[in-house]
């Protein structure tokens, strides 16, 4: 294909980029998808065939960066705030996979929708000092049809009506829920007894054969693993459709170093392929879907100077409440998380009082995942060495007899939390790496402190012998930055950094994800999120990519 | 036959791992051949393809072909990263992107030397004391010992699946997976 005929180049092959590719090729566009990492997902010679590289292998996925990026080649840097100097840490900072399929390959596929009020939190709840809270320029009612389409495209299982807090839906989930993990069969009733409302997690994993892919067989290697049998639908389904259209070309192992702009129009990209030589590719449109850290990095490398690029970086503030039980829970069987509850997203009287006591006008938490740890390699490293090691592993208090909750708490957007270019640390190709400056707001910490005892009470009701509460990030943690608990957030939900809005002074892209001043440059990842809500971002970013790419195609 | 360690170093690491994950009524690091896992990591580039990432999608232990034994080929960038991690940067500019990197091989050579050539011959008390006197190396060794004890056997450790069996862990289970009943019930 001659690149002069190219309608769009898409940077990133994750859920956002793959969805954009599917929509644009369905509209007759010719696209190139450029992916920095390797291809372990789909046979590029015959896209009907999915590859056989993923496996139930804890070393490969948890210790050896199989999905990339390798921190020796592509480090990131971190600091808590500007007073820390250039950086506190060089290495891994919330890395998402950088192989074909992006973060969709390693996610455990929880795909909830945001609720109606999540699109107008400022109007619904009012401002919070120190946070740049704002309403989204698009509201749920307009997005609902695209949410429904995204669920069908990926193949989401769930049970409509099971969650009393769910937003309105135009129809059922494409598939019924799968089997509940044993731990969830215990934590669910315990939560209900305390007045909470657990429900089957909307999950982008097949529970019946769907779209030519098999039903999940519950192997348990789900979160952080690629699926060996391709029962996960995200982003396999849209990527496969795009490639099968014959109008999409996927270029793995290709790093985009610059978006070229002339006279207010994007003209294409500069990229380095496996040969390490820099090339230029021309295209009528450029779509960025490299994730909420790499997208602003690319913009800054390209010389974009909007003062809000990189700002309002958000994660989810994780509250980890775990309990030890006198019986085994086998949390390694099943799809990592099969149940959620949303009660802590809807402040009750006690939460309003606690917010007031904390000097806040309001707060709320996030979706709560009922979950347990899975792998024995990770577990074994926690216990001390010596004669007690095997007694610990046999008893397994930190894996096979552990169950609990992760609350993905809403993280308010703060202008000071940001991604920029590190002043001196470079990647393997010689480009400045992304530097994160991040410290949580009191909002999420106060919400965490309020809801953690509620979750501990559920574990007590379930029969826990002990419970423990930790948070990620822990801004005051004094251990190593390589530790699980450190000032660096562990949540892989990364959002903000290229904010969407109607006012060019307070946002970088418009309500269609296009740059205010470069209209043929669009963002199709979670960078555009205005707020983080308290839900996993993937279904929403796919929904926005569907809507915005379709509008782009219609506009021509 | 070790691929990286000398015979003497191999004996020291084997004895040290036996202290970290001892044999009791159940097999320990010695029976799992954890030392072979570590030797295989440090000597990964003695094999073609290098023993970094076992293949997929199945091991053959629960059906399907033995895909794990076909290790993935590395790209030039993968090889750069893993040679840097294992061999160290050794003054090569392409490996010193952000400064020198001390490789695992060098850390092991120094750590094993610090434990002493007679490590395998001294008493358990003395072994423990020496391991405690070298906490940084012991932490590295323990990390790898755990990987060798509980990781997939294709990487050289967990021989006979002893690491998984004594804790009642099934390990990789594809393509069988678990039945709905095995997921939902105790």
The token pair at B157 is 């450790």
Q: What is the pLDDT of residue B158?
A: 98
CATH number for the domain formed by residue range(s) A3-555 = 3.50.50.60
Q: Residue A320: CB partners within 8 Å, gap ≥ 6?
A: A404, A405, A406, A469, A470, A471, A472
- Tell me the DSSP string of A498-537: S-B-S-TTT-SB-TTSBBSS-TTEEE-SGGG-S--TTS-S
Quick check: A495 and A291 in contact, CB under 8 A? no
CB of B135 within 8 Å of any CB in chain A? no
Quick check: A412 and A443 in contact, CB under 8 A? yes
Q: Give the pLDDT mean for A138-150.
A: 98
CB contact under 8 A, B98 and A66: no
Q: Residue A391: CB partners within 8 Å, gap ≥ 6?
A: none
Q: What digits encode the pLDDT tens for the residues A201-228?
A: 999 999 999 999 999 999 999 999 999 9
CB of B72 within 8 Å of any CB in chain A? yes
Work out the pLDDT band at A556, boundaries 50, 70, 90: confident
Work out the pLDDT band at B54, boundaries 50, 70, 90: very high
Q: Residue A424: CB partners within 8 Å, gap ≥ 6?
A: A86, A432
CB contact under 8 A, A57 and B81: no
Distance CA A433, CA B5 (A): 37
More confident residue, A26 or A276: A26
Q: What is the pLDDT of residue A4?
A: 61
Q: What is the pLDDT of residue A484?
A: 74
Q: What is the pLDDT of residue A332?
A: 97
Percent of chain A with pLDDT over 70: 99
Sheet with A402-409, strands from edge to edge, namely A199-200, A337-341, A366-371, A402-409, A317-324, A466-472
**Where along chain B do its domains lie?**
7-184
Quick check: A240 and A230 in contact, CB under 8 A? no
pLDDT of A3 > 70? The answer is no
Q: What is the pLDDT of residue A476?
A: 81
Nearest-Cα distance to chain B for A471, in Å, is: 24
Between β-strands A89-91 and A76-79, what pairing exists: parallel, antiparallel or unpaired? antiparallel
A-chain residues near B78 (CB < 8 A): 38, 70
Q: What digits encode the pLDDT tens for the residues A521-549?
A: 999 999 999 999 999 999 999 999 999 99
Residue of B nearest to A394 (CA): B167
Q: What is the pLDDT of residue A38?
A: 97
Residue of A nearest to B65 (CA): A52
A 10 A CB-CB count for A516 gives 15
B-chain residues near A35 (CB < 8 A): none
Residue of B nearest to A327 (CA): B186
Q: Give the pLDDT mean for A425-431.
A: 97
Q: Give the pLDDT mean for B5-30.
A: 98
Q: Give the pLDDT mean for A222-250.
A: 96
A 10 A CB-CB count for A245 gives 19
CB contact under 8 A, A55 and B174: yes
Percent of chain A with pLDDT over 90: 94
pLDDT of A424 > 70? The answer is yes
Distance CA A136, CA B186 (A): 45
Residue of A nearest to B149 (CA): A377
Q: What is the pLDDT of residue A1?
A: 43
Sheet with A31-34, strands from edge to edge, namely A248-251, A31-34, A8-11, A285-288, A521-523
Task: For an interface test with A, give the residue of B158, B184, B185, B186 to mutate (most A CBs within 10 A).
Answer: B184
Q: Give the pLDDT mean for A99-112.
A: 93
Q: What digits encode the pLDDT tens for the residues A377-403?
A: 999 999 999 999 999 999 999 999 999
């Amino acid at each position: 294909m001659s690149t002069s005929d190219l309608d769009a180049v898409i940077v990133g092959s994750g859920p956002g980029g793959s969805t954009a590719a599917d929509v644009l090729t369905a509209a007759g566009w010719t696209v190139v998808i450029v992916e920095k990492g390797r291809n372990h997902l789909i046979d590029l010679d015959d896209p009907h065939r999915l590859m056989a590289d993923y496996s139930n292998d804890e070393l490969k996925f948890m210790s050896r960066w199989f999905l990339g990026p390798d921190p020796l080649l592509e480090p990131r840097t971190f600091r808590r705030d500007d007073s820390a100097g250039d950086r506190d840490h060089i290495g891994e900072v919330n890395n998402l996979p950088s192989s074909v399929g992006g973060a969709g390959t390693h996610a455990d596929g929880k795909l909830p929708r945001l609720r109606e009020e999540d699109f107008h939190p400022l109007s619904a709840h009012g401002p919070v000092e120190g946070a740049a809270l704002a309403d989204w320029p698009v509201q749920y009612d307009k997005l609902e049809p695209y949410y429904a389409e995204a669920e069908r495209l990926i193949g989401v299982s769930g049970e409509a009506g099971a969650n009393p807090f769910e937003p309105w839906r135009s129809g059922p989930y494409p598939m019924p829920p799968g089997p509940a993990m044993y731990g969830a069969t215990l934590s669910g009733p315990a939560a209900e007894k305390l007045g909470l409302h657990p429900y089957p997690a909307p999950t982008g994993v097949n529970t019946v054969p769907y779209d030519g892919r098999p039903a999940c067989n519950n192997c348990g290697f789900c979160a952080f693993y690629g699926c060996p049998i391709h029962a996960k639908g995200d982003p396999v389904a849209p990527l496969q459709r795009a490639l099968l259209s014959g109008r999409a070309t996927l270029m793995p192992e290709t790093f985009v170093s610059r978006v070229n702009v002339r006279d207010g129009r994007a003209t294409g990209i500069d990229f380095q392929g496996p040969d390490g030589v820099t090339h230029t590719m021309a295209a009528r449109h450029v779509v960025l879907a490299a994730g909420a850290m790499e997208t602003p990095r690319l913009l800054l490398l390209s010389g974009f100077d909007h003062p809000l690029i990189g700002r309002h970086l958000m994660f989810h503030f994780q509250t980890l409440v775990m309990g030890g039980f006198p019986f085994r829970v086998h949390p390694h069987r099943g799809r990592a998380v099969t149940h959620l509850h949303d009660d802590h997203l809807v402040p009750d009287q006690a939460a309003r009082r606690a917010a007031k006591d904390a000097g806040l006008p309001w707060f709320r938490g996030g979706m709560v995942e009922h979950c347990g740890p899975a792998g024995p390699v990770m577990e074994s490293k926690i216990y001390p060495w010596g004669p007690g090691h095997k007694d610990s592993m046999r008893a397994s208090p930190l894996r096979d007899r552990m169950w609990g909750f992760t609350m993905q708490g809403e993280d308010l957007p703060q202008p000071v939390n940001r991604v920029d270019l590190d002043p001196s640390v470079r990647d393997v190709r010689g480009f400045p790496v992304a530097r994160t400056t991040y410290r949580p707001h009191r909002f999420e910490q106060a919400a965490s402190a309020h809801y953690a005892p509620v979750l501990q009470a559920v574990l007590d009701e379930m029969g826990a012998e002990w419970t423990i509460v930790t948070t990620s990030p822990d801004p005051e943690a004094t251990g190593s930055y390589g530790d699980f608990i450190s000032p660096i957030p562990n949540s892989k939900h990364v959002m903000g950094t290229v904010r969407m809005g109607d006012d060019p002074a307070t946002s970088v892209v418009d309500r269609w994800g296009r740059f205010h001043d470069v209209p043929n440059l669009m963002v199709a990842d979670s960078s555009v999120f205005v707020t983080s809500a308290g839900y996993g971002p993937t279904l929403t970013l796919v929904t926005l990519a569907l809507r915005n790419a379709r509008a782009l195609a219609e506009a021509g | 036959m070790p691929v990286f360690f000398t015979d003497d170093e191999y004996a020291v690491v084997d004895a040290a791992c036996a202290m970290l994950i001892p044999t009791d009524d159940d097999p320990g690091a010695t029976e799992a051949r954890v030392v072979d896992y570590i030797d295989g990591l440090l000597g990964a580039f003695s094999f073609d393809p290098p023993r970094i990432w076992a293949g997929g999608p199945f091991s053959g232990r629960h059906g399907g072909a033995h895909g794990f034994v076909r290790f993935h080929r590395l790209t030039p960038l993968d090889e750069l990263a893993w040679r840097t991690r294992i061999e160290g940067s050794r003054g090569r500019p392409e490996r010193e992107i952000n400064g020198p990197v001390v490789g695992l091989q060098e850390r092991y050579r120094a750590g094993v030397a610090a434990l002493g050539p007679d490590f395998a011959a001294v008493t358990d008390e003395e072994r423990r004391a020496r391991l405690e006197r070298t906490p940084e190396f012991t932490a590295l060794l323990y990390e790898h010992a755990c990987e060798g004890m509980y990781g997939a056997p294709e990487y050289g450790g967990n021989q006979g699946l002893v690491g998984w069996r004594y804790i009642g862990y099934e390990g990789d289970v594809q393509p069988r997976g678990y039945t709905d009943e095995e997921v939902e019930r105790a």
